[in-house]
C-alpha cells in the first residue's frame, strides 16, 4: 500500500476526513515504532565500504552507513577475524586489546580496536533505518502487513485526536485488529530467523568461528 492508499484506508475506518499533514506524521510515528521494536529480518543489512589498515589505532574513525540504525553483535575484519562491541565509554580501557569495536553515535562513526597485519575490508552487519513515508511511497515490509500501520493510526487518532465518545469506544477495536496483524508479522519474522539459522535455536561463536546450536543439543 502506498501512503495514499493507507490514508484512504484510515479515513474509511474512522469514517471522517483526516488532515494530510497529521496523517503523515502519525504514519511515520507508527512506522518507526514498529521498526524500533526488534531486529526485524527485513531490516538487516551489510556494509563493506570501510577498511582497516595496519596503522589504525583505537581512535581511527570509520564512517557508519547512512541508513545505520544499530549494530548487530559482531563485525568482521577481513574474512575470519571477528570483532565484538564494547561501550563507547570503555574505549580507553580496551585500547591495547584486539578484537573489539565501539560506536560514536553522535558523529556517525565507529572504531575498531586491534589493527590487522595488512589492509582488510571491514564487513559490518547492521540494522538499517527506512526512509520517511509519503503519500507516494510504500513501507519496506510486505504489503500484507501494511494495514497494521493504518489500524495503529486509527487507534491513536480516535483515542486522542478530536475524539468523541463514539470514536473513543471504537479505538480498542482498531488496536485489537492491529495486534492481530502485528502477531502475524512477528510470527513471519520468527520463521525467517529460524530459517536463516537452519532451524537452530541460537548462534554461538567458538574459536573465532560462527556455529549453530541445534535444538537437540539443548
Measured distance CA(30)–CA(147) in Å, rounded: 12
Helices within 15-163 (DSSP H only): 20-36, 147-160
Query: Which of 40-44, 76-80, 168-172 is predicted least confidently?
Result: 168-172
Dihedral angle of Cα 132, 12, 143, 162, to the nearest 10 degrees? 40
- Report how far Cα 25 is from the mean position of its chain's Cα atoms: 20
> 167-199 pLDDT, tens per residue?
444 467 777 888 889 899 999 988 988 887 775
CB 210 within 8 A of CB 184: no
More confident of the two residues 162 and 50:
50
CA gyration radius for the chain?
22
> 152-175 pLDDT, tens per residue?
898 888 776 555 554 444 467 777
The pTM is what? 0.78
Amino acid at each position: 500500500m502506498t501512503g495514499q492508499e493507507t490514508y484512504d484506508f484510515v479515513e474509511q475506518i474512522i469514517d471522517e476526513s483526516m488532515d494530510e499533514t497529521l496523517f503523515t506524521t502519525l504514519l511515520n510515528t507508527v512506522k518507526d515504532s514498529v521498526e524500533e521494536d526488534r531486529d526485524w529480518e527485513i531490516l538487516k543489512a551489510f556494509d563493506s565500504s570501510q577498511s582497516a589498515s595496519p596503522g589504525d589505532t583505537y581512535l581511527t574513525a570509520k564512517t557508519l552507513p547512512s541508513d545505520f540504525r544499530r549494530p548487530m553483535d559482531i563485525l568482521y575484519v577481513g574474512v575470519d577475524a571477528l570483532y565484538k562491541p564494547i561501550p563507547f565509554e570503555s574505549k580507553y580501557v580496551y585500547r591495547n586489546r584486539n578484537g573489539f569495536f565501539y560506536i560514536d553515535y553522535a558523529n556517525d562513526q565507529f572504531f575498531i580496536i586491534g589493527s590487522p597485519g595488512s589492509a582488510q575490508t571491514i564487513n559490518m552487519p547492521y540494522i538499517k533505518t527506512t526512509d520517511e513515508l509519503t503519500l507516494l511511497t510504500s513501507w519496506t515490509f510486505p504489503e500484507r502487513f501494511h494495514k497494521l500501520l493504518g489500524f495503529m493510526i486509527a487507534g491513536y487518532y480516535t483515542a486522542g485526536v478530536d475524539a468523541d465518545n463514539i470514536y473513543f469506544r471504537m479505538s480498542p477495536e482498531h488496536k485489537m485488529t492491529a495486534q492481530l496483524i502485528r502477531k502475524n508479522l512477528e510470527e513471519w519474522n520468527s520463521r525467517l530467523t529460524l530459517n536463516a539459522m537452519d532451524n537452530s535455536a541460537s548462534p554461538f561463536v567458538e574459536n573465532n568461528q560462527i556455529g549453530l546450536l541445534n535444538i537437540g543439543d539443548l
